[in-house]
Structure 1
Amino acid sequence: MTPCTRSKSARDLSKSIISELPIVALHRILELMPIKYAARSSILSKHWRQLWSTQPNLVFDPLFFQYVSNTKDSAASVIHKILLKHTGDILGFHLISEADTLTQSDVNQFIIFASNHGIQKLTLKMANDEKYVLPDSIFTCATLTHLNLSRCIFMLPDGTQFPNLITLQLEHSKIAGHRGLENNLNLPVLVTMELRFCVDVDSVYLVSPKLENLSIISSYTITFRCFSVNPIFTIIKHLCLNGTSLEKLCSAYVEVKLCQPLKLQSLKICNFKISLESIACAVCLLRSSPNLSEIEIDEVVKVDETLNQRTELLSSYYLSTKKDRVDEALRLIQTVRLRKFKGSRTEMCLIRVIFSHSPNLERMIIEQCEKLENATNYKEKLREQLSCITRASPKAIVVKYVQPVFPVAYYDFFV
């Protein structure tokens, strides 16, 4: 056999091996490829042409929009052509670009087409200045399970119900309320809800009996009226708030202890602004959550400037008057994770409070983004500070590592 013949046989064998993979695996391969290359696969053979036309997950991401910008066709016209040639179900349809726009008319046609072809996962994150108004058909789509939207308006038709929606993620979006008299948003099987900088959430009554994960990141827009009269807040297991949302929640609930116990297992606080309101609300949530064992704080930000000393709230003022409440709040905590740790006096004081009031603490995980050349000195300084802290739990350890720009741990140690 000549070298040329052997090379041809090897190529044929390789093609045969790939082509004989399960269709699900082949579709996954196409999904992970830039869409221009996935489309080109259709010229390989009749088999690959059929695979491309039945690709169930269509992802139009920044690479797609960048590619189209170098052609004479518009992004909308290319997407229309792809959909016209598509056969079978469209299980995932994703429009993602922070730099490109699409018209309301085009987006409506795409969403309606996908909702008529078994859509399960829909993502819409485009750069339009004006928010998209979602077509009515999407609100009653029986196959939809995951919805991820940015810069959208919910103009809810009467009788709105996402019968099988499991995950709802909204960012910079507005819930405009119903056109009729009803104000219920029925999400009977919803498990996860994420709201980031959304407005008018309180204009509807959320009915979500199976909700487990709730994340609310907001700078000023949510007052929690929809939750203060709604039992869904007492059934969630994992809660994520930012500092401002925590203060908003404090104004909606009593600050001592809730009337009904919560089912929280973990609490995450992003951009934790140390203030009387935020600490009181955090203590209230912890005291009201008999199953909570894990706390995550993603960056401690500036302390209330009205305090004479930056650590006064944590060290003397609050703890001296509310010690019993803090003891009860932290008695079941087993894991604490501190992200974006800077080593400030406020952060060190917070660590002391957690250590001294957490008899069941097992691990304190500290993640610090630090320049590599300073990591060694920083490690030794932090080790020395941590070794001097009194711990209520004899088995509590500290896991510390520096996380540089690239996601690689530089070092770790136990204290």
Structure 2
Amino acid sequence: MQRDSPKSRLKMNIELDKLSNLPRDVTEKILSILPIKEAVRTSILSSEWRYKWAMVPDLVFDELGFPGVLYKLDKLVKMVDHVLFLHIGPINKVKLSHKGLKGTADIDRWILHLSRNSMKEFIFKFWKKPEYKMPSCLFSCQDLVHLELCNCLLKPPRTFKGFKSLKKLEIESVTQTQDEFENLIVCCPLLKYLTMIDCHGFTKLKIDAPNLRIFCLLGAFEDLSFQNTLKLTSIAIYLTANGDQRRQKPGISSNLLKLFDQCAYVQTANILGYFLKYLAVGDLPVKRPKPCLHLKLLRINIDFNDLKEVLSTLYLLRSAPALQKLYIRVRQEGQALVGEVNSWLDGNQNFQLGKLQIVEVRGITSTKAVLDFIKFLLLNSPMLEKVFVKPASHYSSSELLVRLSQFRRSSALVEIMHLDP
């Protein structure tokens, strides 16, 4: 075996000295870019590098950092133990999201250890069944700024007074009671970003968050209300279930007005799935009490066979004088309207969408109500520049463009174009 020459060993030592003499912040930056498994391996470079990895503030344990260990749980557990319990200095971020993790006793031990540090960001995704019961020690982490949990059961202790520093909360497939959820939100006074996906244990959502800016929700619910959310600028709500929303009872106050009463400063609204059907419940007054003066972008799913959905959409458009971009996805479900297909046009010819510039409509059918709605937009949008259209699979693109080209329009500059997949 050929040995390294003295010259090559000297060159290697010089290179290692250069690395060892780098400023600490540069070294930490280099190590933070590496997967944690590779960062730990730098300990063999020299005695100077033996424990540098132990000062990395961001610890990520996922498939990218630990590929190919799905069926080697013991090795993964040893590695996490090694990294966590030899770590030196503050821990800013920890991510545990590996499909090989299934031993709840090991996870309990790790979270208990982390709760004794000033952790700022914790991302935990548990991929096994049943869901993981989060230990009470997590709720003592008062330095948390970002918390992301997936497939967990949350049961805060009675002494829990909220996360006073938390600004971003993302929960998916998380189970908790109605009172526990409401208390969690109201006791996070700095909360700015809230994302909820398919959560369980409660169906009535009351969001009381005075600093909330962005709200995203996907799932089934019976009721949704906002309180003290006048700083909210963006909402994205996808209601997955088409339930009976008390549609037949007269005298019910409008869900649409209730929602936007506390969302007066919203600039972007995504009304997706069956959420418009929920908003269409209740009686809309003739006069709009509070216009959405700041709404500039609206994405909405509409069943044009549901007259209340169409009227609610028109009401919302009339309440949004600053609207610039409108994205529509057609959701056809019920029987085509008979005798009422043009009734919504009668009382809505006297207003204009004065700032609307971009319209996109996907899933267009030959249904008269859909085409009349596009005709209405063309007639009442003097600043319109582009209309992108995509028909449903059974409807010819060329036939659609021919029909739309025959519609009158108030903007001389508008272009009607087929939307590519």
TM-score normalised per structure 1:
0.71
Q: Which residue of 2 aligns with 1:307?
A: 336
Q: Which residue of 2 aligns with 1:242?
A: 272
CA distance 1:264–1:5, change in 2 (3 Å): farther
Does the 8 Å contact 1:215/1:239 carry over to 2?
Answer: no
Q: Which residue of 2 aligns with 1:146?
A: 146
What fraction of aligned residue pairs are identical, expressed as a percent?
A: 22
Q: Which residue of 1 aligns with 2:195?
A: 194
Q: Secondary structure at the match of 2:177?
A: strand
Q: Which residue of 2 aligns with 1:393?
A: 411
| Distance (Å, rounded) in 1 between the aligned partners of 2:218 and 2:343 | 26
Does the 8 Å contact 2:73/2:101 carry over to 1?
Answer: no
Q: Which amino acid aligns with 2:279?
A: L
Q: Secondary structure at the match of 1:53?
A: helix
Matches within 5 A, 1:104-119: 104-119=104-119
Does the 8 Å contact 1:53/1:85 carry over to 2?
Answer: yes
Does the 8 Å contact 1:214/1:240 carry over to 2?
Answer: no
Q: Which residue of 2 aligns with 1:323?
A: 348
| Distance (Å, rounded) in 2 between the aligned partners of 1:363 and 1:23 | 53
Q: Which residue of 1 aligns with 2:325?
A: 294
Aligned length: 381
| Distance (Å, rounded) in 2 between the aligned partners of 1:161 and 1:279 | 41
Q: Which residue of 2 aligns with 1:412?
A: none
User: Deviations for 1:85-132, whole angstroms, at most 9, x for unmatched residues?
Assistant: 1111221111224x4443444434333433432222222222122233
| Distance (Å, rounded) in 1 between the aligned partners of 2:19 and 2:270 | 43
Specify the structure having the higher radius of gyration (Cα): 2
| Distance (Å, rounded) in 1 between the aligned partners of 2:217 and 2:175 | 14
Q: Which residue of 2 aligns with 1:68?
A: 69
CA distance 1:191–1:225, change in 2 (3 Å): closer
Does the 8 Å contact 1:54/1:88 carry over to 2?
Answer: yes
Matches within 5 A, 1:18-97: 23-24=24-25, 26-64=27-65, 66-69=67-70, 71=72, 73-97=74-98
Q: Which amino acid aligns with 2:132?
A: Y
Among 334, 354, 360, which residue is 2:383 paired with? 360
CA distance 1:391–1:6, change in 2 (3 Å): farther
User: Deviations for 1:143-196, whole angstroms, at most 9, x for unmatched residues?
Assistant: 222222222233344553222222222222233144799686233222222222
TM-score normalised per structure 2:
0.70
| Distance (Å, rounded) in 2 between the aligned partners of 1:335 and 1:11 | 61
Q: Secondary structure at the match of 2:68?
A: helix
| Distance (Å, rounded) in 2 between the aligned partners of 1:115 and 1:257 | 53
Question: Per-residue deviation at 1:208?
Answer: 1.0
Q: Which residue of 2 aligns with 1:224?
A: 224
Q: Which one has a larger percent helix, Structure 1 or Structure 2?
A: 1
Does the 8 Å contact 2:70/2:100 carry over to 1?
Answer: no
User: Deviations for 1:337-386, whole angstroms, at most 9, x for unmatched residues?
Assistant: 56xx5665477766544433333334556799x9xxxxxxx998887676
| Distance (Å, rounded) in 1 between the aligned partners of 2:21 and 2:405 | 59
Q: Secondary structure at the match of 2:129?
A: coil
User: Deviations for 1:46-102, whole angstroms, at most 9, x for unmatched residues?
Assistant: 4544331112111222234543335462534432222111111221111224x4443
Question: Per-residue deviation at 1:209?
Answer: 1.0
Does the 8 Å contact 1:257/1:288 carry over to 2?
Answer: no
Q: Secondary structure at the match of 1:241?
A: strand
| Distance (Å, rounded) in 2 between the aligned partners of 1:61 and 1:290 | 47
RMSD over equivalenced CA pairs, Å: 4.4
Q: Which amino acid aligns with 2:153?
A: I
Q: Which amino acid aligns with 1:305?
A: G
Q: Which residue of 2 aligns with 1:208?
A: 209
Question: Per-residue deviation at 1:240?
Answer: 3.0
What are structure 1's unaligned runs of at least 5 residues? 371-377, 404-415
